[in-house]
Amino acid sequence: MPKIASARVIVTSPGRNFVTLKVVCDDGTTGVGDATLNGRELAVASYLADHVVPCLIGRDAHRIEDIWQYLYKGAYWRRGPVTMAAIAAVDMALWDIKGKVAGLPVYQLLGGASRAGCMVYGHANGETIADTIAAALDYQRQGYKAIRLQCGVPGMASTYGVSKDKYFYEPADAELPTENLWSTAKYLRVVPELFAAAREALGWDVHLLHDVHHRLTPIEAARLGKDLEPYRPFWIEDATPAEDQEAFRLIRQHTTTPLAVGEIFSSIWDCKALIENRLIDYIRATVLHAGGITHMRQIASLADLYHVRTGCHGATDLSPVTMAAALHLGLAIPNFGIQEYMRHSDDTDAVFPHGYRFADGMLHPGDAPGLGVHIDETLAAAHPYRRAYLPVNRLEDGTMWSW
């Protein structure tokens, strides 16, 4: 059985910061895991290098579940984004190793494929409704079956989720947090107009999604959901901050628009009540931020009991390692719903060569043994870390609001 001989943390910034754990076994087999926590990358890098890696040396790399429990229960200070991202990196790397030793792609180790591929959605955004519709039509021509719609809010100088480049978007944009202004009233007026224009231009054979970015109160979110019902959105995402899980009950009482939440969740306990009370339709937790393939599979299994499907976060703050892991899991589980897909830059793709591929509106992880993604450490070294923060938002009167 392969024993873990060494592990190292690689921090690189090919257009944005990534933290990668590379585990090396005594037989030469290697595995990689993503440990990126947007805006707090070095916290996870230190957690891994200083506190986790020393505990891995000499352990049987095949004992994935035991190592997961050891890192989770043995730390005493459980959960949280830093801890769970570090555990996830180890978990991904060990699944990668197991697949390579077995000569099989990871999805085969998880029970085999449950579908031909994972349906993904692209991001159509623009300063105006017309700009967003033009971007959405472009995605539709490329074969996307699902498209997220975001547009600028009239009267606001900038809007989170709207980029100048129609394909590549990096919200962590400055060495100190950018402060933007926000108006809920103006936002609530423009989104139904956006969806009305989208249905007229794109028709009804494409799924349309929208991300609220946690910026509404529960009753405001309920109003938006009700206003969008005539346009049959696939979901509205992060309609309100989810620390108060009961808030989703109020939204549920007023609208039949499907609800998705969870990209900032770090464990099954963050979504347990939401799932068991059927307050959401899609769980957006990620393989990276929710403890790896091992723990995300537990979340998916719980969700399956309550007719909740997965819709994992897949922005560019997750490296291609996480995207590959998410696709292997998504291909195998019975209750996969959809996978977010923001394309990485050419520099990122060069640092992380991978085998997953897009066709007919879906991504497939490929059939290479393991995760099917690697890190070019020489190229990674050419892109040193650069401090970068996500923006924050204030209301027009200066009150601090959600990001």
Q: Using CA atoms, how far apart are residues 363 and 127, in angstroms rounded to an integer?
A: 28
Beta-carbon contacts of residue 23 (< 8 Å; ≥ 6 apart): 4, 6, 7, 30, 31, 32, 33, 56, 61, 90, 93, 94, 97
Angle at 167 between CA 342 and CA 345, to 5 degrees: 70
Q: Using CA atoms, how far apart are residues 158 and 191, in angstroms rounded to an integer?
A: 15
Rg (CA), the chain: 20
The runs of H, that is alpha helices, within 115-264 are 129-141, 184-202, 218-228, 247-254
Q: Using CA atoms, how far apart are residues 92 and 376, in angstroms rounded to an integer?
A: 17
Q: For residue 206, what is the DSSP state?
A: S
Active site residues: 160, 213
Burial of 77 (0-12, 13-18, 19+ CB in 10 A): exposed
Three-class DSSP category at 192? helix
Beta-carbon contacts of residue 233 (< 8 Å; ≥ 6 apart): 195, 208, 209, 210, 257, 258
The token duo for 317 is 């703050």
Burial of 57 (0-12, 13-18, 19+ CB in 10 A): exposed
Q: Using CA atoms, how far apart are residues 5 and 25, in angstroms rounded to an integer?
A: 5
Q: Using CA atoms, how far apart are residues 115 and 179, in angstroms rounded to an integer?
A: 43
**Exposed e or buried b per residue across 345-381, where buried means at least 16 C-beta atoms within 10 angstroms of its C-beta:** bebbeebbebbbebeebbbbbbebbbbbbbbeeebbe
Q: Is 80 left (phi over 0), alpha (psi -120 to 50) or beta?
A: left
